[in-house]
Structure formats: C-alpha cells, structure tokens
C-alpha cells in the first residue's frame, strides 16, 4: 500500500523518533505546531506546559488573557489567541489565528469545556445548550475548520472527554450527554478523516478549579469562610472515594495521556480511560 504523502513527509521531518510516552524523548515534539483549547488552566494548561517542554510550538486558546499568559510562560514558541469558543466566528478566528501565529498546524488538543451541575428537573434549556455548545459542537467545528491544515501536517487530534460519558452521575445530564457525543464522534471521525488520527482521553475526576467549584442546590446561596472550605473539602473527599486509587487525578497525568495519543502513529479512534480505577468498580 502506498503511504499517504503527507504522512511520509511528516515522518521524514521529525527530528526525534516517536516513543510510547512523553518522557521517553524530552524533545519528541520538536517542530510540531499544536493548538490547545482551554489553555489558561487545568488540563489544557498542563498540556501546554508538556508540549512546550517537548519542543512544540503551541497556540494557546482561551478566554482568560492572564491565565493564557501564565501558561505560555514567556516562551518564544507560544502564541496566545484569546477567544470565546461559544461563538462560531470566534472559533474560526481562533483556528486562523493559530495557523498565522505558528505558520501551520499539525495537531489539536481540545480541552475546553464547561460543567454545570444541576438536577434534571431544574435544568434550563440555556444551560443545556451552553454545555452542548462548548463541550461538543465547539471542538467538532474546530476540527472541521482546521482539517485542511491537519491534512497538510502531521494530522493528529485529541479530545478531552469524560468517564461521565459512560457512567453518568446525578446532576450531570447535559455534561454527560455532551461528552458521550464527543466519544462517539471520536470513533466516527477516526474512520472518516484517516489518515488524520482522532483520539480521546477519558479522565476520571481530576483536581482542577472546575472540580473544586461548589455544587449548589437550586436556590442555595454560596457559603463563605470556614463553611465554604469545609464544603469544598467534603466534596473533594466524596469524589476521591469513588476511585480505587483513593485520590483525584492531576492535570499533568491527563496531559501525559494526551501527548501519548498525539504521537501514537498507529492509534486512532481510541478512547483512552485514565481514571484511577473509577470505571473498574
């Protein structure tokens, strides 16, 4: 079978061989041009740091200018693109800005998302639509926008999904539905877009600002002071107890899985679960 010319060219251009994990070759992403959404904090920011450490050129996309600047850490290989991904025009501009800032595009890491914990009977249509927009529609449309560039480059996409796609919990109807759609789209796009590779990391509960946000009941006011601290710690302890490894994941652990999938040349259509044993129970 004749190799795809883009794939062959990309392989020839790599200065280091692709290993199994991101720790095998510190500069294994040397020369890669990668767009990362949700790059100002949490999993997205951890992916940015790991990619920059690996030699990549990275376009950081997000809403929070200060957080993006902190994640970029003054690197000459980082380009900051401020955008609200709930807006279709902003999504298109973000891809165009990344291509302009990096001089092309090899890969996407789509880590932006929103979770709004609400009992189903209190779930509003606007809250449902916002989670579908940011967690499902936005990443898919950004892949579509970036596709010509991905086909001309190394051609790798990694979505950040969730174990809630397969094991939804109370108050997560909209979020779980959006992530289930993303998991399904991963498999479908892997078949349709090859040789562009499309994969997804499915984390358990990761210690991020989103996880630490207090989950209020409808009509409940935000606690303050010591009561707030106790509420957050109780929430975190309950989440830790769901995992056989008895702790939450870290953004860096999810970033390591993302980088593995970015570089795994014979892997596409995979949902890689990284969950501390959550789904084993």
Cα–Cα distance measured from residue 245 to residue 229, given in angstroms and rounded to the nearest whole number: 24
Q: Which residues of the chain form CATH 3.40.50.720?
A: 17-206+249-274
Q: How far apart are CA 140 and CA 57, in angstroms?
A: 22
In this model, does residue 8 exceed pLDDT 60? Answer: no
Check pLDDT > 80 for residue 17: no
The pLDDT of residue 105 is above 60: yes
For 269, left (φ over 0), alpha (ψ -120 to 50), or beta?
A: left
What's the CA gap between 18 and 161, in Å, rounded?
24
The residues pairing with 59 across neighbouring beta strands, listed in sequence order, are: 35, 79
Q: Dihedral sign for Cα 252, 258, 259, 264, please.
A: positive
| pLDDT at position 52 over 80 | yes
For the record, the structure tokens of 106 come out as 């090899």
DSSP state of 134: I
pLDDT, position 250: 97
175 is catalytic: yes
Out of 175, 196, 243, 273, which one is annotated catalytic?
175
Q: Long-range contacts of range 53-56, CB-CB < 8 Å, 24 or more positions apart?
A: 53/26, 54/22, 54/25, 54/26, 54/27, 54/28, 54/29, 54/30, 54/259, 55/26, 55/27, 55/28, 55/29, 55/30, 55/31, 56/29, 56/30, 56/31, 56/32
Would you list the DSSP string of 3-24? PPHHHHHHHHH-SS---SSTTS
Model pTM above 0.85? yes
Rg, Å, the chain Cα set = 19
What's the sign of the alpha-carbon dihedral 224, 225, 230, 233?
Answer: positive
Q: For residues 235 and 209, is the Cβ–Cβ distance under 8 A?
A: no
Q: Does domain 17-206+249-274 have CATH number 3.40.50.300?
A: no
Instruction: Identify whether the C-beta of residue 34 lies closer than 8 Å to the C-beta of residue 58.
Output: yes
Q: Does 7 score more than 50 pLDDT? A: no
Cα–Cα dist 8/156, whole Å = 14
Phi-psi region of 60 (alpha: psi -120 to 50; beta: other; left: phi over 0): beta
Which phi-psi region, left, alpha or beta, contains residue 265 (left: φ > 0; alpha: ψ -120 to 50)?
alpha
Percent of the chain with pLDDT over 70: 91
Six-digit token pair at 255? 């970033």
- According to the model, what pLDDT value does residue 223 have? 87
Q: How confident is the model at residue 185 (pLDDT cuts 50, 70, 90)?
A: very high
Angle, CA of 71, 77 and 79, to the nearest 5° = 60
Of 36-40, 184-188, 221-225, minimum mean pLDDT range: 221-225
- Compute the distance between CA of residue 245 and CA of residue 249 in angstroms, rounded to an integer: 9
Residues 76-96, mean pLDDT to the nearest whole number: 96
Q: What is the pLDDT of residues 123-175, one digit of tens each?
A: 999 999 999 999 999 999 999 999 999 999 889 999 999 999 999 899 999 99
């Amino acid at each position: 079978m004749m190799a795809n010319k883009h794939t062959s060219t990309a392989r020839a251009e790599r200065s280091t061989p692709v290993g199994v994990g991101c720790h095998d070759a510190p500069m294994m992403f040397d020369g890669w041009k990668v767009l990362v959404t949700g790059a100002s904090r949490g999993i997205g920011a951890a992916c940015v740091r790991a990619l920059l450490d690996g030699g990549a050129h990275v376009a950081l996309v997000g809403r929070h200018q200060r957080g993006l600047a902190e994640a970029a850490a003054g690197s000459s290989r980082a380009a900051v693109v401020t955008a609200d991904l709930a807006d279709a025009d902003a999504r298109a501009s973000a891809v165009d800005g990344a291509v302009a800032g990096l001089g092309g595009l090899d890969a996407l890491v789509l880590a932006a998302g929103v979770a709004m914990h609400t009992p189903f009977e209190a779930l509003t249509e606007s809250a449902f639509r916002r989670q579908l927009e940011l967690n499902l529609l936005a990443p898919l449309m950004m892949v579509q926008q970036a596709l010509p560039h991905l086909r001309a480059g190394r051609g790798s996409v990694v979505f950040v999904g969730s174990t809630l796609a397969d094991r939804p919990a109370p108050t997560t109807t909209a979020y779980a539905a959006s992530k289930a759609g993303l998991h399904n789209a991963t498999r479908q796009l892997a078949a349709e877009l090859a040789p562009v590779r499309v994969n997804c990391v499915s984390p358990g509960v990761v210690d991020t600002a989103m996880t630490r946000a207090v989950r209020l009941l409808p009509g409940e006011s935000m606690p303050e002071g010591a009561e707030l601290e106790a509420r957050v710690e109780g929430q975190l302890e309950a989440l830790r107890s769901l995992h056989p490894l008895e702790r939450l994941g870290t953004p860096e652990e999810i970033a390591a899985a993302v980088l593995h999938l970015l570089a795994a040349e014979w892997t596409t259509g995979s949902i890689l679960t990284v969950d501390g044993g959550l789904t084993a129970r």
